[in-house]
Structure 1
Amino acid sequence: METSLYLTLLISGFYTPSSCLHQYHLITNYMNWTDAQSYCRAHYTDLATVDDMEDQNRLITSVSSYNSWFWIGLKKGDSMKWNWSLADRRFYREGETEFRNWDTGTPQNGNCYLMSTAGLWNNTSCDDQHHFICYDGKQGTNITYVLIQENRTWIDAQSYCRQYHTDLVSVRNQTENTEIEKKISLRGLPVWIGLFLDSWRWSDQSDSSFRNWLSGRPSTDQGYNCTLVHSNHYFYYYSKWINHPCDYNCPFICYEALQLKRQVVRVKMTQRDQHLNLRDPAVQDAIVQEIRNKLKEQGLPADTKVTWKKQPDGKVFHKEEEGSPKKEEEEKKMKRMMTKREL
């Protein structure tokens, strides 16, 4: 596709934070949770930690040939902590996971959270049934917040959002809170959001908030303090998690931490065709291909994966205002760079 664009890469915008890829290893020896933890720490990194749905899918793939329950590294702790269902750390800027908009007298009893039509948050039992809001961050959709007018428990609402969209909605700031409030105000009913309270902790001390409980779990049975996952796709509990007594003997999944580097590049575009729809997935794919070609010129491997990083408002592109200090400074940088090399 002819994108009718001039692309200029701001090479000064590169940075390379390291990230961790979890490589999972199936261990078919039957052990209790504690012995499994010791084995994984001796031979790999630790019992399996799961950061997000990508991790979850890789973990299930690693055990798909073996029909059983498997220990992973999640164990019940002593203190409660607020978490967001959407566990991707790249989604949040500093301080955004701590935003709250409590109603008067909140929080009280109950581990899952609702937003009222006034935009205020209340907690209640996760087994209650309410409408809910999904966040859709998939490339190619213009819809960020999706109101689902079905009564479901919090866990079932989470599963629905992950299946059809991205996850239950996270609310990172007052602007997003107001936007979601407007979406539900005409309905007159509170909705589930992605905030939950639990005491479960990962064996490697990771702060991952990702959970994938089976509906009705975790149970409150005393002593059911460790977590199992099942690999058989013929059963309704396929890939879901249950809590179970830790002294039960099961095979288990270890993980090995592989260090990767993620490179983020700021792209500045001059658009020749003002009618070009930059939200069109085909247009975005064509731009990505053009960027990939330019990155290859800068020495990146040919098989480098290139994806869009959405802004906090859910958009990929922001129009830069004329005469802004930031724009003027970047133009100066680009003039200096262009004297050295034509991109």
Structure 2
Amino acid sequence: METLWYLTLLISGFYTPSSCLHQYHFITNKMNWTDAQSYCREKYTDLATVDDMEDLNRLITSVSIYEWYWIGLKKGDSMKWHWSLADRRFYREGETEFRNWDTATPQNGNCAFMSTSGLWSNASCDDQHHFICYDGKQGTNLTYVLIQENKTWIDAQSYCRQHHTDLVSVRNQTENTEIDQKISLRGLPVWIGLFLDSWIWSDQSDSSFRNWWPGYPTIYQGYNCTLVTSDPKQSYYYSKWRYQPCGSNFPFICHDQAVETPEKPQLKRQVVRMKMTPKDQHLNLSDPAVQDAILQEIRNKLKEQGLPADPKVTWKKQPDGKVFHKEKEEPPKTEEEETMMKRMMTKREL
């Protein structure tokens, strides 16, 4: 008898490198960061949160007075690893937590690189390496772009955002293998988009978007609040961030809650329960690589049905942590049970 497996998929829409629009408000009165936060929370929602480059560009280009402005990013107490590409709709469930650290890592250093073995290590962000950009723009033939120039992590991030989409995120083992193959012939490690920091947004947003000046962030005791510059004359630093003691007085930017627009609809998730029969009965369906391969086949089928190019399909784990559940085989009915079933069917027909 064929073995049947039940699986549950989460189809969560399609990736576009943008989030919903924040409504920004520029306050020219100069206040310290804490007073600016209180003002924004009273009049609007909070000090400004920035989710991506599109948010940042809208914020900067709409400023009429060239100045340094407080935004809502402040140093916190606990360190956390983030991906440079901040849009969470780019990641399926659990993919922001994928890691492939080498033995005894991570140790010292706030930026991650991949070696030619496909394993990750961390180093000072001021070190210089080649790097991999991710390009999610339509019409491009390349997803992973190897840049064979030595740059610091921050400079590599700026390059990728200017010429492509961002430093590469590695979401699963399949992508890790693809990127490893991209760099293995060169024999040199490359920066990836993973970084470590303790900065948090005032509105408790989980956005990992950062746009620091070159050379930042470094450690300055008491420099715990973030400024953005809007002066186009400072072309090298235009729209970049630096930190300042929170007691300094500057104008600031508030925001209202992000709103849905026709161009940026909120994504909706749909749960689909399916039943499948693997051709190879010895296939290990608990293997993450096998699960990734099956998902890719499903995405390909969805594309063939005319869905957009990047459907977000992922597994929904059950309470026991498993994705697949083997169908229970019902024991054969006894002759007495078969007779009883026939009598019941006859009564229903009468």
Length-normalised TM-score, structure 2: 0.71
Displacement after TM superposition at 1:263 (Å): 5.7
Displacement after TM superposition at 1:15 (Å): 7.6
Displacement after TM superposition at 1:312 (Å): 6.7
Query: Where do 1:122-271 residues align within 5 Å?
Result: 122-235=121-234, 236-260=236-260, 261-262=265-266
Displacement after TM superposition at 1:311 (Å): 4.5
Secondary structure at the counterpart of residue 55 of structure 2? helix
Higher-Rg member (1/2)? 2
Give the direction of change, closer, same or farther, for the CA distance of 1:131–1:37 in structure 2 (3 Å limit). Answer: same
Secondary structure at the counterpart of residue 155 of structure 1? helix
Secondary structure at the counterpart of residue 96 of structure 2? helix
Q: In the alignment, residue 34 of structure 2 is paired with which amino acid?
A: T
Q: Does structure 2 retain, via aligned residues, the 8 Å contact 1:219–1:243?
A: no
Q: In the alignment, residue 177 of structure 1 is paired with which amino acid?
A: N
Matched with 1:56 is: 56
Secondary structure at the counterpart of residue 39 of structure 1? helix
- 2:322 maps to 1:310: no
Q: Does structure 2 retain, via aligned residues, the 8 Å contact 1:20–1:257?
A: no
Displacement after TM superposition at 1:310 (Å): 2.2
Please report the RMSD computed on the Cα atoms of aligned residues, expressed in angstroms: 2.2
Displacement after TM superposition at 1:205 (Å): 0.5
Matched with 1:107 is: 106
Supply the distance in 2 between the matched residues of 1:132 and 1:31 (Cα, whole angstroms): 40
Q: Does structure 1 retain, via aligned residues, the 8 Å contact 2:12–2:311?
A: no
Matched with 2:120 is: 121
Supply the distance in 1 between the matched residues of 2:142 and 2:185 (Cα, whole angstroms): 18
Q: Does structure 2 retain, via aligned residues, the 8 Å contact 1:97–1:172?
A: yes
Q: Does structure 2 retain, via aligned residues, the 8 Å contact 1:24–1:62?
A: no
Supply the distance in 2 between the matched residues of 1:258 and 1:112 (Cα, whole angstroms): 30
Supply the distance in 1 between the matched residues of 2:251 and 2:309 (Cα, whole angstroms): 38
Give the direction of change, closer, same or farther, for the CA distance of 1:56–1:14 in structure 2 (3 Å limit). Answer: closer
Give the direction of change, closer, same or farther, for the CA distance of 1:93–1:29 in structure 2 (3 Å limit). Answer: same
Identity fraction in percent: 76
Supply the distance in 1 between the matched residues of 2:70 and 2:213 (Cα, whole angstroms): 15
Displacement after TM superposition at 1:67 (Å): 1.1
Task: Identify which range, 251-260 or 174-183, moves more after superposition.
Answer: 251-260
Displacement after TM superposition at 1:233 (Å): 0.8
Supply the distance in 2 between the matched residues of 1:126 and 1:141 (Cα, whole angstroms): 29
Displacement after TM superposition at 1:62 (Å): 2.6
Give the direction of change, closer, same or farther, for the CA distance of 1:25–1:144 in structure 2 (3 Å limit). Answer: same
Q: In the alignment, residue 51 of structure 1 is paired with which amino acid?
A: D
Supply the distance in 1 between the matched residues of 2:50 and 2:62 (Cα, whole angstroms): 13
CA displacement 1:154-177 (0-9 Å, x = unmatched) = 000000000000000000000000
Supply the distance in 1 between the matched residues of 2:117 and 2:13 (Cα, whole angstroms): 41
Q: In the alignment, residue 204 of structure 1 is paired with which amino acid?
A: D
Query: Where do 1:6-85 residues align within 5 Å?
Result: 20-63=20-63, 65-85=64-84
Supply the distance in 2 between the matched residues of 1:200 and 1:110 (Cα, whole angstroms): 16
Q: Does structure 2 retain, via aligned residues, the 8 Å contact 1:25–1:62?
A: no
Supply the distance in 2 between the matched residues of 1:47 and 1:99 (Cα, whole angstroms): 31
Kindly report structure 1 stretches of 4+ aligned residues shifted beyond 4 Å: 13-16, 263-266
Give the direction of change, closer, same or farther, for the CA distance of 1:308–1:240 in structure 2 (3 Å limit). Answer: farther
Matched with 1:338 is: none
Displacement after TM superposition at 1:264 (Å): 6.7
Displacement after TM superposition at 1:258 (Å): 3.7
CA displacement 1:48-70 (0-9 Å, x = unmatched) = 0001111111111231x111100
Supply the distance in 1 between the matched residues of 2:13 and 2:185 (Cα, whole angstroms): 44
Secondary structure at the counterpart of residue 113 of structure 1? strand
Secondary structure at the counterpart of residue 142 of structure 2? coil
In structure 1, list runs of 5 or more residues that go unmatched. Answer: 1-12, 267-290, 292-306, 314-343
Supply the distance in 2 between the matched residues of 1:96 and 1:76 (Cα, whole angstroms): 25
In structure 2, list runs of 5 or more residues that go unmatched. Answer: 1-10, 271-305, 314-350
Supply the distance in 2 between the matched residues of 1:82 and 1:126 (Cα, whole angstroms): 14
> What count of residue pairs does the alignment treat as equivalent?
259
Displacement after TM superposition at 1:150 (Å): 0.3
